Amino acid sequence: MSEDFEPRIIGFLCNWCSYAGADAAGTSRLPYPPNIRIVRVMCSGRVSPELVLRTFREGADGVLVLGCHIGDCHYTDGNHRTAKRIPILRKLLSYVGIEPERLRLEWVSSSEAQRFAQVVSEFTETVRRLGPLELKGGA
Amino acid sequence: MDRLDLLREAARKVLDSGQVEGVLALRADHGGTVPHLFHPGDDLSDLALWPKFPLPRTVDMLLSSHPEARLGIVVRGCDERGLIEMAKRHQVDLARLTLIGLACTAEEVAYCPCTRPYPNEIAVGEAVEGVEHVLAAEQARLSLAERMAFWRRQFAKCFKCYGCRNVCPQCFCEQCTLEDDLWVERGVLAPPFPSFHLIRALHTVGKCIGCHECELSCPADIPLTILYTLLRQDAQEMFGYEPGASLEDKPPLVVAGVT
Ligand code: SF4
Ligand code: SF4
Ligand code: FES
């Protein structure tokens, strides 16, 4: 791994809580690593395993999924699905040799700007330590 | 009487009961077996046991095309579990079926490692103990790099015949994600790592009843059930869900509620 590896991180943030949290972090001028590219989704339940896998295939080194806390989902229980799918997907990633730490799910509310910045910083460091994800090539 | 005779007798009894239009079972054919609907009065001498073949989807087809019909069906443990999962998803109406339960022999269990090689009600044979999936257990001891190397090599053999999906008693979606260009590019062989196979593996969660048919039918000899078995164990641990165990348990990934 080269010293100056900058991980590419895609964050899927639900519109109602986490995206607002990220927004609040921005307006409060809280610093967080620029490695994350944010994709706004209507609900964390929208983030299908297929979408995560495709994101890795497209070159992401880490995928961060952020949604409303359990009980706060705008669609009542969209995040219940997320809460079960992501851990299963992490298991499966590990079975085929992909570090499960490259995929992380957290709940971040609209008022948790500080927490948003902290999660992104931590996750970026985790992925930086893991190095680039090489999915292409090789038989 | 040997097991096959007992099975013929059990099928005969159901056929003679007047309760069913026919009994779905396997028929000997060119050294193998094919699904066959035996009618009352039919000669049952070519009713066969082995090689096994999953019957749940065939019976689903028959029940749909004959909405009034009631049928008997020979079920091994995996077939019965398959029917239970299908019934939960409104694929089959169990009230229209008479199950003829068949317990697998130790020899058969060695062929497709199964933790519960018998149905709830056994009409023919005796329950033998299930076995662990040795290869799945061995995977746990590999490093991440070794796993990646192993599965890259395995998946590279896939030529997307879709046999694994077509034979699976739990694959009945009208539109298959594995045919969606967005997730699995068409016309690309082998499917780019890790698209096709991880998607299929995830779709078995809460459904796969461990019949091993996918792996048995894979012409490229990819040990698919290693992944499905590991995920089944995870779903059991994480959600306490065991596919096919009961009609009442709700599939964890599709219902609300967190544990
Ligand atoms: S073992 Fe294979 S064919 Fe059988 S239910 Fe599981 S995925 Fe489907
Ligand atoms: S049966 Fe084997 S070769 Fe055919 S699509 Fe499935 S994994 Fe690929
Ligand atoms: S709307 Fe935020 S997780 Fe569902």
**Is A94 part of any domain?**
yes
Q: Which of chain A's residues have a Cβ under 8 Å away from the Cβ of B227?
A: 92, 95-96
**Is A103 part of any domain?**
yes
Is 0.80 topped by the overall pTM? Answer: yes
Domain count, chain A: 1
The closest alpha carbon to A110, from A63, A67, A79, A50, belongs to A67
> What's the pLDDT score for residue A137?
59
Atom of ligand 2 nearest to the CA of B190: 8
Q: From the candidates A1, A77, A80, A88, which should be mutated to test the interface with B, based on the most B CB atoms within 10 A?
A: A88
Q: State whether residue A21 is helix, strand or coil.
A: helix
Q: State whether residue B202 is helix, strand or coil.
A: helix
CB proximity under 8 Å: B 93-112 to A: none
CB crowding B91-106: b at 16 or more within 10 Å, else e: bbeeebbebbbbbbbe
Cα(A37)–Cα(B70) distance, rounded to whole angstroms?
57
Find the CATH number of the domain harbouring A65. Answer: 3.40.50.960
Q: From the candidates B144, B185, B229, B231, which should be mutated to test the interface with A, based on the most A CB atoms within 10 A?
A: B144
Q: Are A106 and A79 in contact (CB under 8 A)?
A: no
Q: Are B26 and B34 in contact (CB under 8 A)?
A: yes
Positions in chain A short of pLDDT 70:
1-3, 137-139
- In this predicted complex, what is the ipTM? 0.93
- Exposed/middle/buried for A40, CB within 10 Å: 0-12, 13-18, 19+? middle
**Is A137 part of any domain?**
no
The arithmetic mean of pLDDT across residues B165-182, rounded, is: 93
Q: Taking chain B, what is the end-to-end CA distance rounded to the nearest angstrom?
A: 50
Give the domain range for residue A125: 9-130
pLDDT at B183 > cutoff 60:
yes
> What's the pLDDT score for residue B255?
83
**Is A21 part of any domain?**
yes
The arithmetic mean of pLDDT across residues B94-104, rounded, is: 97
> What's the pLDDT score for residue B141?
92
